[in-house]
Amino acid sequence: MSKRSLLKSIFLSAFFLGVSTAEAQTRTKADSDVVIFGKKYTNNEIQENPAVVKCASTEYEARLQAQDPGRMTDAQFEAWLAPLVEKAKMDKSQNNGIITIPVVVHVIHSGQPVGFQANISDNQVISQITAMNNDYRKVFGSRGDNTDPVGADIMIQFALAKVDPNGNPTNGIDRVNLCQTSWNPDDVDVKVKPQTIWDPNSYLNMWTVNFSVQGLLGYAQFPSGSGLAGMPGNGGAANSDGVVAGYRAFGSSDFNDGTFNLMPGSDLGRTMTHEVGHFLGLRHLWGDGGCTVDDFCNDTPNSSSAGNAQYNCNDLQDSCPSSPGLDMVRNYMNYTNDFCMNIFTNDQKARIVAVMNNSPRRASLKTSTKDVPIALFPNDAEVKIENVCAGAGCDIITNQFKLTIYNRGTSTLSSAVINYSFNGGPNQVYNWTGSLLQDKSSTVTVSIPTGTVLTSVSASIQTVNGVADQRATNNTDTKAFGAPVYPFTTVVFRLQQDIYGDETSWEIRNGAGTILYSGGPYADTSPTMPALITQTWTLPLNDCYTFKIFDSFGDGINSGYGAGYFDIKSQDGTTVIYSGGSFEDEDRTIFKLSSNLATSEALQAQFEVYPNPAKDVLNVTKVSNRALYTIYSSIGQVVAKGKVQDNKVNVSGLATGAYIITVSDGEFSGNVKFIKR
């Protein structure tokens, strides 16, 4: 482990308001310690005060600022927001309309049945939306009601989306099996969000996950004022915008139908009330500092810090005796048990109004109509191919895959005929029978020959309830399986470490487990950045390769101590195999090199993209209906990924600039550069 100087503490405190300088002397990490977005918490800290890691929104914002120099600092954001808040207080007409924000909840699980562990039930999700509406609207007679003279009805309410990004009906609950039982916050940002997010200009994205970090309940991405006169143009990462919660802190036990799995003390939905408050521009009551640090709301008396969080609803607590007023223990932006919380204030409301009127992606939510139902038909089913979780190698070797059938019609779904094929083979028929009410689903297992190396599956609904399906746009799905495959033998590896190189090491192994290349630990270069490392690897064809990079402290190489990154590309630089930098203890990827594929240039000649430059939608032509895409920034970071839907890719959430889009259909992979305007 490396020794850290006082400079480290100064650098850290520049980003983390009110964070202790206890880490100033050393940079060590015990097995029982946790690191959240670059900030270490010892096991003793967690045991003495579990609230210390209750909400990671402040740490997350510091990480975003460290990674993106164009993102506003806290001081810049507050300087921009302050006059807008005053305007909101003066202009009462802005408060006359109720805003409804469409919500999508991405339930991230590892294959459990609905209602078990991380794959929480529909009703648990719905209870969370109800709890937030009670809190934000100060609904009379609910837990969100209060008689405090500064208590405010925020006049914002939330509704699960009724229309998905493809224009099809949805219940606003997106269940995704990502084949991993638990997640650290960095992996949520790098691996979960980009491949599941819906357009953040139209939806408030919420994710429920099983956190691997002890005590962490949730975190949110703060709004940005960028794009306005006099402010930096970068509005923050669109592909990470939203709110995340542990699945046991999502929902309210007030509405428990027996299927809920909630944590005592955090079982009334207030984690999301709190985190959405951050999403809408609110700070912790202690200003993420102490008695001398402001949350920029005059009607919330100063309080000292998260370390003074208390859970007995003590309304007489005064942690800042030199400042007027008692602690507002019951405020939603405080740290306390869910049953203690029940107030937003008028100044907090003014702050939210200013953000909703002026912060770009927040303002667009005011006019989104994704919560407005579209015309429904009696007989309408949707099919989805589930991920296959099978081992850590390049090939998926299995004897089955799973399909999920959703009833999107108004009639009870009792039967469906589904055509399916795998690995490009002939169509086969699956006859489903059951009883599904509207928006309910059934997951079925389709058997295939034992030992099949599964590369792709296609499925298409033929009939529902004995008649033709009345909506064709949600009848088909395709999915590619296995590691990505590339047709070249020479790859280039680049590594830009942060200033603490002795924490960094890496290796690449072949399918037999033999280490072919490796590096690190390196020398510390604090306070200056080390030189870029570039290596050329020659890797034999027709083999599987596993690359791993490690950080012994647990904060990756891009956490505020230098903009570290790594990437693995083709020799000509046009194909990005993998890239990253933001992780905790370890990041990895698996890929395959094969001589049986056409060259990427061949696919490049097959598919085209237009318009180029693109503003909202990038059209992708001449690809199969199973094509997948990954979009990389100019420095090789993954910014979006998903399936090419109807030959279109939504790029509206990307910042202006140059990108590379990689398109793969399971047999070919190629790249095209495009400009987002």
Residues belonging to the active site: 275
β-pair partners for 50: none
Task: Measure the CA dihedral 289/292/293/296, to 10°.
Answer: 150
Calculate ∠ Cα 610-613-618, nearest 5°: 40
Total Cβ atoms within 10 A of residue 495: 23
d(CA 86, CA 94): 12
Q: How do 485-486 and 586-593 pair as beta strands?
A: parallel
Q: CA-CA distances (angstroms) from residue 447 to 139, 405, 420, 461?
A: 51, 16, 11, 18
Q: Which amino acid is at 408?
A: R
d(CA 283, CA 293): 11
Radius of gyration of the chain (CA): 25
Structure tokens at 246: 């542990």
544-574 burial string, b = 16+ CB within 10 Å, else e?
A: bbbbebbbbbbbbbbbbbbbbbbbbbbeeeb
Q: How do 156-160 and 204-209 pair as beta strands?
A: unpaired
Tell me the DSSP string of 124-173: HHHHHHHHHHHHHTT-TTSTT----TTB----EEEEE-SB-TTS-B--SE
Q: Which amino acid is at 334?
A: N
Q: CA-CA distances (angstroms) from residue 15 to 62, 63, 89, 122, 555?
A: 5, 8, 30, 38, 15
Residue found under tokens 């139209």: 202
3-state percent helix, strand, coil for the chain, nearest multiple of 5: 20, 30, 50
Backbone angles phi, psi at 257, to 5 degrees: -100, 15
d(CA 606, CA 603): 5
Closest by CA to 664, choosing from 576, 545, 533, is 576
Helix (H) or strand (E) holding 548: strand 543-551
d(CA 663, CA 641): 10
Query: Contact at 8 Å (CB) between 282 and 311?
Result: no
Query: Contact at 8 Å (CB) between 409 and 377?
Result: yes
d(CA 622, CA 645): 13
